Amino acid sequence: MQSEALRRLQYAAAIACGLFAALAVHIILTVLGLGLGTVLRDLFPSSAQQLISSLAWWAIGAASFVAGWAAGAYLIAAAREREFIHLIARRFLIAVVLAVCTTAGLLSKSGSVGGGADVLASLTALGLGLLSASCGARLAYLNAGQS
């Protein structure tokens, strides 16, 4: 029973890490002017705006998938008490979380209030991140032989 609860908790944590990565990438791309909302700015978007939004879509999905998979693989290795992987990955994850939080906090100081297009783009990034992170975490657990 405890093993099943621990596995579900690890799975949820891997999805949360992937979702965190998706939102961080979304914030960074939006501040750089390359976010999902660029296609929503004009009534008739240009092909360049469509390209930027599609690349942002793929970047957010890829970041979420990779982070969900990596967090799942790390949590599986930590649960199996592989000390070397646990030690290196713990320090690396702490450094990545601190770096992403600091960068996203600094870049989010844009001063604009945002409108409906920004809310729609953010909710889209949230949904895409959740879906991609769950797929990445599931792949990590399938590769490890867990269900």
Q: Which residue's structure tokens are 């891997």?
A: 14
Instruction: Provide the pLDDT for residue 58.
Output: 93
- Tell me the pLDDT tens digit for each residue of 13-54: 889 889 888 988 888 888 888 888 777 777 787 888 888 888
Residue from 49, 55, 61 nearest 23 by CA = 61
Token pair of 67 as six digits: 């982070």
Angstrom CA distances, 94 to 38, 40, 52, 59, 87, stand at 32, 36, 31, 22, 11
Compute how many other C-beta atoms are within 10 angstroms of the C-beta atom of residue 29.
Answer: 25
Q: Does residue 2 surpass a pLDDT of 60?
A: no
Count how many domains the chain has: 1
Backbone angles phi, psi at 111, to 5 degrees: 90, -10
Give the range of the structural domain holding residue 11, as residue numbers without chain letter. Answer: 2-143
Q: What is each CA distance from 4 to 1, 11, 84, in whole angstroms?
A: 5, 11, 25
Q: Is pLDDT larger for residue 62 or for residue 9?
A: 62
**Top-confidence range, 30-34, 128-132, 142-146:** 128-132
In this predicted structure, what is the pLDDT of residue 59?
93
Q: What is the DSSP string of 12-47?
A: HHHHHHHHHHHHHHHHHHHHTT-SGGGGGSSSS--H
Say yes or no to pLDDT of 147 above 60. Answer: no
Supply the pLDDT for residue 1.
Answer: 44
* Residues shown for the chain: 147
pLDDT in tens, 78-128: 777 766 666 776 777 777 777 766 766 665 665 554 567 777 887 888 888
